[in-house]
Structure 1
Amino acid sequence: LGPQHARWGFGSQEEVRRVVDGYRERGLPLSVLHLDIDHYDGHRVFTVDRERFPDLPALAKELRGGGVRLVSIVDPAVKAEPGDAVFDAGREVGGRGAYVRDARGRVVVGEVWPGACVYPDFTDPVVRDWWGSLYEERLAQGFSGVWHDMNEPVSFAAFGDPSLPRSARHVLEGAGGDHREAHNVYALAMARAGYEGLLRLRPEERPFLFSRSGWAGMQRYGGTWSGDVSTGWQGLRASLSLVLGLGLCGVPYSGPDVGGFDGFPSPELYLRWFQLGAYLPLFRTHSAIDAGRREPWEFGPEVLEHAREALVERERLHPYFVSLSQVARLTGAPYVRPVWWGAPGDRALRECEDAFLLGDALLVAPVLEPGVRRRAVRLPRGRWYDTATGRAYEGPGQVLVDAPLSGVPVLARAGAVIPVRGADGEPELEVWAPAPGRTGGGLVVRDAGDGWAEAGVERYATRWEGGRVVVERDGGEGEVGCRVRVRGVADAS
């Protein structure tokens, strides 16, 4: 749930260290760094280029000691070359091997990054078990998670579609069928294979996995991301639409390639994308091998400073994101919700596509156009506080708020209880004063850390009493148990 950085084209251990050191030296939080296909040996899955990455386990251990975990790309296509360990092992799986065949029983050969490739049939449970066991190699290299790519699946060969031929045959859990039936569930089944494999290999840890493609039910195994979103203001706007839409479809954990995948974003575009990403579940910069860099310091001192503010705020809100992740698991409610979430009959809210609710407590209004320094925000019913100024606004209605380069408008619902990380790193409750005569509250879910221990759900209520805001926790004789900071009191009367 912390800030993540990726690039197709790090190229070496030294470059990975340089980038991580760049974050550290500038005091920028970083939780995860992703390696793309350039760390593979000849782009072959479950391999490492030993010349460029001579000791990947040592690098992973070194980075983890500094609080940064490594995540590996995993593509489904396997190089069709005798002597390749994965290819040879796949041919021995089950009675007919692991790979998709055509109607005549011949293995389908496509073209992907390693060259001629074959494709595991993830709709076969036996193949899923075999594929899941291969993730042991990734764990041995020191990776803490995986991201699945090219898993629509993609083939550069001219089959008529940029995927497998429609006539390709699949097991489909024993029912049998062609690729027209299997295409949409291919990536879902791959995610299941990866998730279940990681779970078998390290049952004490929660697997971290997200995928470019998926299908209904993807949330059981991981999240997803935008894929190669175009660099431009239109791509920025599409990023928000994608996360909102996926959340409504039951996939709560998602995000875009911050800054866009290709090309060279302007400093303003990069910053506005970065500021949006700081409030999305998956907050990851990423770019193509021939695109511009996406490190915040590459865009000048002003962008660097404002990006730092976004990163610091993301870290401050980390306990809130943890709570939202658990709420998503328990209820299905996404982190990122349309502003009409609590009032689906409100037509004005239903037409609002440039703002969103982050949980129940916050309304985020990103800047999605160039040159904007002030923008209109459509508010749901109730009182809302501008978190930058403390000013109170009444909804429903539309208000104009400042949107300087230093940050995007974020408004807090009156009465909200938001778990945050204090300046000293200790947990703290940020409480926004209820409107006069009203009450409020919120849920706080304290994550027990990596593993499967049941998270504790705490319910808080807020109210006015004798001219002061009272915060109580259900149970425990009402004791809160951590610091409380009340905001908005001066504007609550």
Structure 2
Amino acid sequence: IIDQIAGILSIGPRVALQALKNTKLKNRLDDEYLASLPEPKIVLLGDLQIAVPFQSGGSFEFDNGRLEVFFLKRDIVRLSWQPGKPPLPYALAQESYPQISIKYTEVADGYILDSGELTVHVHKDGSISFLDPAGTVLRCEAPPRRKGEGWVHHAYLAEDERVYGLGERTGGLNKRGRSWKMWNTDPGLCYSAEQDPLYICIPTCLSLSSLGSYLIFYENYGPGNVTIDSEPQTKGLFQAAFDLGMLRYYFMPGPPERALHHYTELTGRAPLPPRWALGYQQSRWGYTKEADIRRVATGFEQLEIPLSAIHLDIDYMDGFRVFTVHKRRFPDLKKLSYDLNQQGIHLVSIIDPGVKQDEKYSVYQSGKAKGMFSTLPGGDLLHGVVWPGSAAFPDFTNSLVRAWWGELYRDLIRQGIDGFWHDMNEPSSFVANANSEMTLPLSARHSLECTGGDHRQAHNLYGLLMNRAGFEGLQRFNTKKRPWILSRSGWAGLQRYAWCWTGDVQSSWEQLRQTVPTILGLGLSGLPFCGPDAGGYFGSPSPELYLRWLQLSAFLPLFRGHSAKRWIAREPWNFGENALNIARRTIRLRYRLLPYFYTAAWQTSQTGIPMIRPLFWIDPSDPSLWDIDDSFLLGDSFLVSPIFKKGAASRQAYLPAGKWYSFWDRKEYIGPGTVHLEAPLERIPVLVRNGSLIPMEEGKELVLQAFGKGDCSGKVFSDLGDGYGPWRVDSFTYSNGELKQETQGEFRFPYKHVRVETE
């Protein structure tokens, strides 16, 4: 009841009534559609009948299925089981690779395909084994089963095997022990610590055990579940089940760094963001007019707190009509943007996919006339319910729709908007009870590049393709600037187009603790640029909780304060004088560390390796590191151990092997092992790896902080901070009191002086 009342208050009684009507219609349509589908039948694979080798793999015909094994590279193999509709390659950035030759051998129980770096053993019953060059079996799979229009796939896990990834999830870093649904979902209001699914579901798993490691990506965007020994009787069993399509998946052996490198080669690397996006960003659902924005900007300026962006939530629009501006509340958005730019502040505006049903509204008129919106099976226009009430939804699975949608950003760009925030793109449509999903009817029709399909096929793609449409539009109109999009939803390949955040979280210590494993899991799913709403979205945090969240966020890629209406705005001055002073120092530190962050972001764009990494990244062979999800690595040098308990002024943290130094006072710690770290309210524990040179900015001076008594090294990437012009990478080495500098690139060195500090 409380949630229902909160929902009505947030959307208003008129829209709540429309949501009630929409719920009844959606439930009826879904019931009719599901009843029309045939009962899924289990079909076993049968025996192997024919095996045919080819240069890069082999084809295997069974009684009731066909397998193609194809080596894209010597350490990337694609397996495709048919029958079933092949996936459209939305997830892929690279579809073709130079052809390689592999060794194909018939053996007593099947066939062995050996690339020299990876061996695939296809058994005569359809089971599969993957082996490394030493002959160690990394993964064993049972013969898959056809189930209705989809497939069920089983594998056997080693006793000590950990499974990571699967997109945005609650729970710990290791995903063993439960079932995870593959269906992007708006949980409504805020989500609990065990809730599943959430906004970004990606069927990508990184596995790690004493036998080795590997990554597996299921290229299937239909509804599904990944279940990992969720019951005692299924211990050690991994199951991936998809309702639709062929069973296609990619196997990439470890170690984790190599596997992520190959995965992001396949699905795309996140582009280098504009430098301002790594600064502090302020947002609130409740900045309703220009005066609110100017008040916030002035507050930061007067209190000498740096600020890079302010986000405009849905109140800047005219009646929640996307791509419009309310002329009374924001009479001159272009001038507002210009004035803020003079202060170094960029405007980011929210865009939802739902287009208000209004025959006088140009976007609705255009989309309806050109056939840009999703329809019901009979051809009638589909309407859901979102903030403006009844709304149509663009069909982003049509390239013409993506081009049309991309054009709509032009006017906001001309008015000075530098970034876009894509929300509600699971897609979400309001419903009036918890038993109905907040999305479009399953029978909704989508183009799927003119192949045709329903919402079951298009649902998980919706956010990904909205982001693609926006990104490609920004590329066309802002050729001298890098697109920057923040998205709530997406699928595999999202990193090519957008950053993400952890959604509408409650302001609680429990949700603060959940931040770290969620962001680590996103990174291991290929999404390197993400963060939470500092302070939480729903609720009013205490000054202590706000500061601990801000301190954690200062060491994550996305550094944004955001909240809902009716709760304390996350502006630093709203939590008392002491909290203000600590927040000011925390945000200023982030800006001093921008050379480090920008360099780490550049490295991510080149390699696909996430900025935020689990501790096992340092030594995947150390089982003591496999389950740690209350600390993380930032880039190559930092280890961050946030504070998650009310009143805590210290904590225990496990360190990987080697020497580590406190970032704050250079106290030395030795790993492996558990150490005690002080954490007064002013700071959280941050350690630096031995031998690191941490680049920091102090005006036009580059200060290199050296940690360790031996040689120290580090890199600094520099360019204009936006666009596609010249760049440079400076590699520094500090040894025996002497600093050496090697340079690549043509960009002018942006600092007047370089100084080394050792204490």
Q: TM-score range by the shorter chain?
A: over 0.9
- The separation in 2 between residues aligned to 1:52 and 1:38, in whole angstroms, is 9
Q: Deviations over 1:265-310 (max 9, x none)?
A: 1111001001111111010000111222111111011111111111
* Residue in structure 2 matched with residue 487 of structure 1 by the alignment: 758
The residue type equivalent to 1:84 in the other structure is Y
Does residue 55 in structure 1 map to residue 332 in structure 2? yes
- The separation in 1 between residues aligned to 2:481 and 2:524, in whole angstroms, is 28
* Residue in structure 1 matched with residue 740 of structure 2 by the alignment: 472
Equivalent residue for 1:74, pick from 335, 347, 351 = 351
* Residue in structure 2 matched with residue 491 of structure 1 by the alignment: none
Match of 1:7, SS? coil
Equivalent positions of 1:275-424 (< 5 A) are 275-422=551-698, 424=699
Change (3 A) 1:160 1:167: farther
- The separation in 1 between residues aligned to 2:649 and 2:665, in whole angstroms, is 15
Does residue 165 in structure 1 map to residue 441 in structure 2? yes
Conservation of the 8 A alpha-carbon contact between 2:666 and 2:707: no
Superposition deviation, residue 393 in structure 1: 1.1
* Residue in structure 2 matched with residue 110 of structure 1 by the alignment: 384
Structure 2 residues not aligned, in runs of 5+: 1-277
* Residue in structure 1 matched with residue 118 of structure 2 by the alignment: none
Does residue 429 in structure 1 map to residue 700 in structure 2? no
Q: Deviations over 1:359-416 (max 9, x none)?
A: 0111111111111101112111111111111111111111101100000111111111
Match of 2:724, SS? coil
Of residues 192-201 and 448-457 in structure 1, the stretch that sits farther from structure 2 once superposed is 448-457
Count residues with an aligned counterpart: 475
- The separation in 2 between residues aligned to 1:349 and 1:225, in whole angstroms, is 26
Does residue 209 in structure 1 map to residue 460 in structure 2? no
The residue type equivalent to 1:419 in the other structure is P
Conservation of the 8 A alpha-carbon contact between 1:429 and 1:482: no
Does residue 138 in structure 1 map to residue 412 in structure 2? yes
- The separation in 1 between residues aligned to 2:479 and 2:449, in whole angstroms, is 25
Superposition deviation, residue 162 in structure 1: 0.7
Does residue 40 in structure 1 map to residue 312 in structure 2? no
* Residue in structure 1 matched with residue 428 of structure 2 by the alignment: 154
Conservation of the 8 A alpha-carbon contact between 2:701 and 2:755: no
Superposition deviation, residue 434 in structure 1: 4.3
Equivalent residue for 1:124, pick from 395, 398, 405 = 398
- The separation in 2 between residues aligned to 1:455 and 1:189, in whole angstroms, is 31
- The separation in 1 between residues aligned to 2:302 and 2:725, in whole angstroms, is 36
- The separation in 2 between residues aligned to 1:106 and 1:395, in whole angstroms, is 65
Superposition deviation, residue 356 in structure 1: 0.8
- The separation in 1 between residues aligned to 2:628 and 2:283, in whole angstroms, is 31
Superposition deviation, residue 46 in structure 1: 0.8
Conservation of the 8 A alpha-carbon contact between 2:702 and 2:755: no
Conservation of the 8 A alpha-carbon contact between 2:616 and 2:626: yes
Match of 2:621, SS? coil
- The separation in 1 between residues aligned to 2:739 and 2:311, in whole angstroms, is 41
Conservation of the 8 A alpha-carbon contact between 1:366 and 1:409: yes
Superposition deviation, residue 44 in structure 1: 1.0
- The separation in 2 between residues aligned to 1:152 and 1:167, in whole angstroms, is 16
Superposition deviation, residue 425 in structure 1: 3.7
Q: Deviations over 1:448-488 (max 9, x none)?
A: 3211125323333344xxxx344433469xx9995132325
Q: Deviations over 1:119-175 (max 9, x none)?
A: 000111000000000001211222111010000011114694210111111111232
Equivalent positions of 1:448-467 (< 5 A) are 448-453=720-725, 455-463=727-735
Conservation of the 8 A alpha-carbon contact between 2:534 and 2:562: yes
- The separation in 2 between residues aligned to 1:314 and 1:49, in whole angstroms, is 34
Conservation of the 8 A alpha-carbon contact between 1:415 and 1:462: no
Superposition deviation, residue 241 in structure 1: 2.0
* Residue in structure 2 matched with residue 445 of structure 1 by the alignment: 717
Equivalent residue for 1:230, pick from 506, 518, 521 = 506
- The separation in 1 between residues aligned to 2:299 and 2:605, in whole angstroms, is 35
Conservation of the 8 A alpha-carbon contact between 1:433 and 1:469: no
Conservation of the 8 A alpha-carbon contact between 1:434 and 1:462: no
Conservation of the 8 A alpha-carbon contact between 1:110 and 1:157: no
The residue type equivalent to 1:80 in the other structure is Q
Change (3 A) 1:88 1:14: same
The residue type equivalent to 1:116 in the other structure is S
Equivalent residue for 2:366, pick from 89, 92, 101 = 89
Q: Deviations over 1:332-379 (max 9, x none)?
A: 111111111111122222221111111011111111111110111211
Conservation of the 8 A alpha-carbon contact between 2:701 and 2:752: no
Q: Deviations over 1:196-222 (max 9, x none)?
A: 001101111101111000111111112
Conservation of the 8 A alpha-carbon contact between 2:706 and 2:712: no
- The separation in 2 between residues aligned to 1:441 and 1:483, in whole angstroms, is 14
The residue type equivalent to 1:120 in the other structure is P
The RMSD of aligned alpha carbons is 1.8
- The separation in 2 between residues aligned to 1:457 and 1:217, in whole angstroms, is 27
Change (3 A) 1:461 1:427: closer
Q: Deviations over 1:69-94 (max 9, x none)?
A: 1100000000011111100011233x
The residue type equivalent to 1:137 in the other structure is D
Equivalent residue for 2:296, pick from 5, 10, 19 = 19
- The separation in 2 between residues aligned to 1:444 and 1:250, in whole angstroms, is 24
- The separation in 1 between residues aligned to 2:551 and 2:446, in whole angstroms, is 43
Does residue 220 in structure 1 map to residue 496 in structure 2? yes
- The separation in 1 between residues aligned to 2:414 and 2:717, in whole angstroms, is 32
Conservation of the 8 A alpha-carbon contact between 2:320 and 2:387: yes
- The separation in 1 between residues aligned to 2:640 and 2:700, in whole angstroms, is 24
Change (3 A) 1:175 1:442: farther
The residue type equivalent to 2:718 in the other structure is R
Match of 2:716, SS? strand
Superposition deviation, residue 18 in structure 1: 1.0
Q: Deviations over 1:178-237 (max 9, x none)?
A: 111111110000000000001101111101111000111111112111111111011111
Q: Deviations over 1:307-341 (max 9, x none)?
A: 11111110100111110110010001111111111
Change (3 A) 1:475 1:293: closer
Superposition deviation, residue 42 in structure 1: 0.8
Mark the structure with the bigger radius of gyration.
2
Structure 1 residues not aligned, in runs of 5+: 489-493
Of residues 238-247 and 267-276 in structure 1, the stretch that sits farther from structure 2 once superposed is 238-247
Percentage of pairs with the same residue: 45
Conservation of the 8 A alpha-carbon contact between 1:211 and 1:223: yes
- The separation in 1 between residues aligned to 2:703 and 2:475, in whole angstroms, is 33
- Normalized against structure 1, the TM-score is what? 0.93
Conservation of the 8 A alpha-carbon contact between 1:149 and 1:211: yes
Change (3 A) 1:441 1:167: same
Superposition deviation, residue 426 in structure 1: 2.5
